Amino acid sequence: MREAAPGTFTGGTAMQVAERIWAIDLGFQGWDRVVYAYLMAAPDELALIETGPTSTLPALRAGIEVAGFDPAQLTKIFVSHIHLDHSGGAGAIVREQPDVQVFVHPVGAPHLIDPARLVSSAGRLYGERMDALWGEVVPVPQDRVVPLADGETLEAAGHVLSVLFSPGHASHHVAFWEPELGAVFTGDVAGVRMPSSGYVLPPAPPPDLAPDDWAISTERLRQAGPRRLYLTHGGPFDDVSEHLEQLMPNLARVEEICRAAMLDGATDEEVTALIQTHTEERIGTAASADPGIVQRYGWASPSFLSALGFRRLLSRRGEIPRQDRPAR
């Protein structure tokens, strides 16, 4: 299964999760809880952590209005990284609201300013599904992009965010620590998890999956001492210690599955099937309580992307032969 089936949820809901913070469900591909943007609100300013893709911007704007605010008050966007499910809508927002600033890791900044390579890479993975998944990917003007520095603090609609560089899922990944709330907005560095399940799934796409870096980033999250994790894929979780303790062992187990299969000559399609089976086994009985949970995990972290991510990682390490042609 390369992609989960679409659902019927249209998104545009807003759930208050802390003082002056709302989780906006973007209804990605018709499923709730798969992609969230987080809205921070002050009386005269709005800030977002994550935008979702351009395809979900109507739901984003609707969610801001449901929370009781005018989207025109948005002034700042903070993105965890440049993958299209996290930042793909930034350029379209800035095109309509030219005063908005977009804060991003300095390695990711050039790809927001000129997304041609990003779009080309995604196009090779998704083909004719590109527009339906992500919508238009619009460049962000250079003077609207603000490169972040590790450890710096920034004001965001009455909140203070500390920047935590957190590579592993992507080399340019950033998490945002809000010390007053004891909360970390994790992007993908804390994995994917649906509320009805205890399984923390580490999404492992190409091109720069780095488990050793990810382990360091996980420890950095732990050392911050958060009381709550705000996942882009799945929402807020308070069992922080138990959640983070799963992350690296779960990633290591999928790596073992991929290594064994690839050394045995398995195709990417076969490895994808093995990852999918493993995911469904780990979800376990939660599927009976939440019939759509397999689809939600599938949209948040497609198994075929993890197969490609580990293929590239293990090839780069020299643990498996390099392919003569790009993986499909």
- On whether residue 6 sits in a domain, the answer given is no
For the chain, the domain total comes to 1
For residues 202-231, average pLDDT: 97
Is 2 inside a domain boundary? no
Q: Mean pLDDT throughout 130-138?
A: 97
Instruction: Give Cβ neighbours of residue 131 (< 8 Å, ≥ 6 apart).
Output: 55
Range of the domain at 276: 13-317
Question: Over the stretch 63-92, which tens digit does the pLDDT of each residue have?
Answer: 999 999 999 999 999 999 999 999 999 999
What is the pTM (predicted TM-score) of this model?
Answer: 0.96
Query: DSSP characters for 67-97?
Result: TT--GGGEEEEE-S--SHHHHTTHHHHHHHS
Range 254-270 average pLDDT: 98
Alpha helices in the chain (DSSP H): 57-66, 84-87, 90-96, 109-113, 116-126, 130-134, 211-224, 240-263, 268-283, 286-289, 293-300, 303-317
Q: What is the pLDDT of residues 53-65, one digit of tens each?
A: 999 999 999 999 9
Q: Which residues of 267-291 are buried (b: 16+ CB within 10 A; e: fewer)?
A: ebeebbbbbbebbbebbeebeeebe
Q: Are 218 and 247 in contact (CB under 8 A)?
A: yes
Measured distance CA(110)–CA(114) in Å, rounded: 6
What pLDDT is recorded for position 127? 94
Task: Find out whether the peptide bond into 207 is cis, omega within 30 degrees of 0.
Answer: yes
| CA dihedral of residues 85, 310, 197, 25 (deg, nearest 10) | 0
Type and span of the H or E element at 184: strand 183-187
In a domain, 325, yes or no: no
Reported as a pLDDT band with limits 50, 70 and 90, residue 295 is very high
Distance CA 255, CA 248 (A): 10
Q: At residue 326, does pLDDT exceed 90?
A: no
d(Cα 37, Cα 123) in Å, to the nearest integer?
A: 24
Is the pLDDT at 4 greater than 90? The verdict is no
Which pLDDT score is estimated for 285?
Answer: 86
Would 244 be classed as within a structural domain? yes
Percentage of the chain beyond pLDDT 90 is 94
* Predicted confidence band of residue 287 (pLDDT cuts 50, 70, 90): confident
pLDDT at 2 over 70: no
Q: Is 60 helix (H, G, I), strand (E, B) or coil?
A: helix
**Residue 1, domain member (yes or no):** no
In a domain, 5, yes or no: no
Q: How confident is the model at residue 324 (pLDDT cuts 50, 70, 90)?
A: low
* pLDDT level of residue 3 (50, 70, 90 thresholds): low
Q: What is the CATH number of the domain that holds 136?
A: 3.60.15.10
Say which range, 31-45, 70-84, 313-327, has the weakest mean pLDDT: 313-327
Q: pLDDT-derived band of residue 26, with 50, 70 and 90 as boundaries?
A: very high
Residue 17 lies in a domain: yes
Identify any residues that bridge with 77 across adjacent strands, giving them in sequence order.
Answer: 48, 102
Determine what percent of the chain is predicted with pLDDT higher than 70.
98
Alpha-carbon distance 44 to 32, whole Å? 29
